[in-house]
């Protein structure tokens, strides 16, 4: 009874592929076909023993959408997922890979490697056809695709068993471990607190490569923001079309205007906010999955005269199709304008008390570059004169360094800019 299609993802090590294919022999009487999604060229000799079953599929573009297209054409009852360097545990028996009639997903986790991350292992094909994977372009890391999908499933319909898989090679370097800690947060328990209320504001200009990831990071939260207010500031690429797909008129509000710079765009959004606090998210950055929950916990402790809350930032380097961790930049307390001017910008995450921001006129549009640069410094410079800033040691904001970032492009303008600050 060949009732399983095996799908292998992210395999770039020939020896790992061989090990994984060999492990599938344990259940070979149930394997109908093996689909390997790969970005590298795989020699025929590696899959020779399974050549009648194996199909090699390129992962160019959006892996999530490529998987959805392939899954539509799968006719077996089940799909078995393996990824990275994982192979079937030697202890697996035919009877291990079964789903009770009232379950749709058999998941697994590694008790010793990543006990907090659950992966779909065996899935009913009929179920995943109805509940598609999301676009991988909307996630910061390709490894998150399956953990995010399983996190959206009702736990009553899932069954989890430990150690159904083994890693051929375990990645313990800093980048892999930082990404794994991030992915763990997608599967944390959901939460809701009435107050304080917190919304996200985002201004976009020509960030079609990254803006979907930024917005999706606002939605894949353990606690939902009260509002997500987005302004497209006259983009000339395809980012406006991406943004408009998120508008629902209940939680997510999307607006557009001619290009006049970020300060004006944020001021327009400020008029639409109804929450106690707002956090500003750049269109090329993204939030941790528990960011709203963590920020609300910190906000609940603030004094009345505090206008700004901030913490640390995790900095990533954008490579070709991937992100590499650079460092976590620790914040430090700011008590005066002198402290502010000595701060290594940007300060983040920037969480403002809405009433204070409105009382001071929002984001200043200064004459330097018509207010199109350093709007964060301009507003902080205005607020520090009357209000307190509060630093807490938390890290939920992720900065993406890339060639088109505004800060990098205009880095040499800082000395001229500070002359315009009052």
Pairing of strands 286-287, 388-401: antiparallel
Answer yes or no: are the C-beta atoms of 46 and 11 closer than 8 Å.
Answer: no
CA 268 to CA 112: how far, in whole Å?
Answer: 50
> pTM (2 decimals)?
0.92
H-type alpha helices, 354-413: 354-359, 375-383, 406-409
- 389-407 pLDDT, tens per residue? 999 999 999 999 988 776 5
Give the distance from CA 371 to its chain's centroid. Answer: 30
Cβ atoms within 10 Å, residue 50: 18
The 3-state DSSP class for residue 380 equals helix
Confidence class for position 287, pLDDT limits 50, 70, 90: very high
Using the predicted structure, report yes or no on whether residue 189 has a pLDDT greater than 60: yes
Strands 252-257 and 228-233: parallel
List Cβ neighbours of 68 (8 Å cut-off, separation of 6 or more). 132, 133
- Give per-residue pLDDT as tens, 312-368: 999 999 998 789 999 999 999 999 999 998 888 788 899 999 999 999 999 998 766
Structural domains of the chain, with CATH: 4-187 (3.90.550.10), 198-418 (3.90.550.10)
Q: What is the pLDDT of residue 47?
A: 67
Confidence band, pLDDT 50/70/90 cuts, at residue 370: low
Each residue of 34-45: pLDDT tens digit?
999 877 666 666
340, two tokens? 């502010």
What string of DSSP letters covers 209-274? TTHHHHHHHHHS-SS--S-EEEEEES-SSSHHHHHHTT--SSSEEEEEE----HHHHHHHHHTT--
Instruction: Please say if the pLDDT value at position 373 is more than 90.
Output: no
Q: Write down the pLDDT at residue 403.
A: 82
- The span from the CA of 163 to the CA of 176, in Å, is 20
Ranked by mean pLDDT, the top range of 152-156, 169-173, 384-388 is 384-388
| pLDDT value at residue 394 | 97
Cα–Cα distance list, 45 to 17, 49, 51, 133, 380 (Å): 11, 8, 9, 32, 62
Average pLDDT of span 306-313? 97
**d(Cα 50, Cα 34) in Å, to the nearest integer?**
8
> In this structure, are strands 198-204 and 86-88 parallel, antiparallel, or unpaired?
unpaired
Please give the full DSSP string across 137-154, using - where no structure is assigned.
Answer: GGSS-GGGHHHHHHHTS-
Q: What is the pLDDT of residues 56-95, one digit of tens each?
A: 887 777 899 999 999 999 999 999 999 988 999 998 877 7
Q: Is the pLDDT of residue 171 over 80?
A: no
Of 392, 217, 207, residue with least CA distance to 290: 217
**Pick from 265, 304, 306, 296: nearest CA to 283:** 265
Q: Please name the helix (run of DSSP H) or strand (run of DSSP E) that holds residue 371, with its range, or none.
A: none
Contacts 24+ apart (CB under 8 A), 412-419: 413/369, 413/373, 413/374, 414/374, 416/368, 417/368, 417/369, 417/373, 417/374, 417/377, 418/341, 419/368
pLDDT at 114: 60
Distance from C-alpha of 324 to C-alpha of 173, rounded to nearest angstrom: 11
Residue length, the chain?
422
With beta carbons less than 8 A apart as the criterion, state whether 155 and 188 touch: no
Mean pLDDT of the chain: 90
- Pick from 166-175, 201-210, 338-347: least confident: 166-175
Which residues lie closer than 8 Å to 134 by C-beta, 6 or more apart? 64, 145, 148, 149, 216
Q: What is the pLDDT of residue 111?
A: 67
């Amino acid at each position: 009874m060949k009732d399983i299609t095996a799908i292998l993802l992210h395999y770039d090590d020939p020896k790992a592929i061989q090990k994984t294919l060999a492990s599938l022999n344990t259940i070979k009487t149930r394997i109908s076909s093996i689909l390997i999604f790969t970005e590298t060229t795989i020699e025929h000799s590696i899959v020779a023993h399974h050549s009648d079953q194996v199909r090699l599929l390129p992962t160019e573009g959006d892996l999530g959408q490529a998987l959805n297209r392939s899954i539509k054409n799968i006719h077996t009852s089940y799909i078995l997922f393996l990824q990275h360097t994982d192979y079937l545990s030697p202890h697996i028996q035919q009877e291990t890979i079964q789903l009770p009639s009232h379950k749709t997903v058999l998941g697994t986790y590694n008790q010793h490697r990543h006990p907090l991350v659950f992966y779909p292992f065996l899935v009913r094909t009929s179920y995943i056809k109805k509940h598609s994977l999301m676009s991988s372009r909307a996630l910061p890391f390709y490894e998150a695709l399956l953990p995010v999908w399983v996190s959206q499933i009702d736990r009553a319909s899932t069954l989890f068993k430990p150690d159904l898989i083994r890693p051929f090679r375990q990645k313990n370097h800093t980048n892999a471990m930082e990404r794994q800690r991030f992915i763990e947060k997608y599967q944390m328990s959901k939460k809701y607190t009435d107050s304080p209320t917190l919304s996200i504001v985002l201004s976009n200009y020509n960030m079609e490569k990254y803006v979907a990831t930024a917005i999706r990071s606002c939605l894949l939260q353990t606690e939902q923001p009260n509002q997500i207010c987005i302004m497209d500031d006259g983009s000339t690429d395809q980012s406006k079309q991406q943004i408009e797909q998120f508008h629902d008129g209940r939680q997510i509000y999307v607006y557009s205007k001619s290009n006049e710079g970020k300060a004006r765009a944020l001021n327009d959004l400020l008029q639409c906010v109804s929450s106690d606090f707002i956090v500003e998210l750049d269109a090329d950055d993204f939030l941790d999955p528990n960011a709203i929950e963590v920020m609300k916990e910190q906000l609940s402790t603030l004094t009345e005269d505090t206008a700004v809350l901030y913490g640390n930032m995790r900095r990533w380097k954008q490579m070709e199709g991937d992100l590499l961790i650079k460092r976590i930049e620790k914040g430090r307390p700011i008590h005066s304008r002198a402290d502010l001017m000595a701060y290594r910008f940007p300060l983040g995450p920037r969480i403002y008390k809405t009433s204070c921001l409105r009382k001071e006129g929002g984001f200043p549009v200064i004459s330097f570059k018509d207010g199109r640069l350093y709007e964060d410094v301009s507003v902080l410079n205005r607020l520090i004169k009357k209000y307190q800033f509060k630093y807490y040691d938390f890290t939920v904001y992720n900065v993406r360094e890339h060639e088109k970032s505004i800060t990098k492009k205009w880095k040499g303008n800082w000395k001229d800019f500070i002359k315009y600050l009052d």
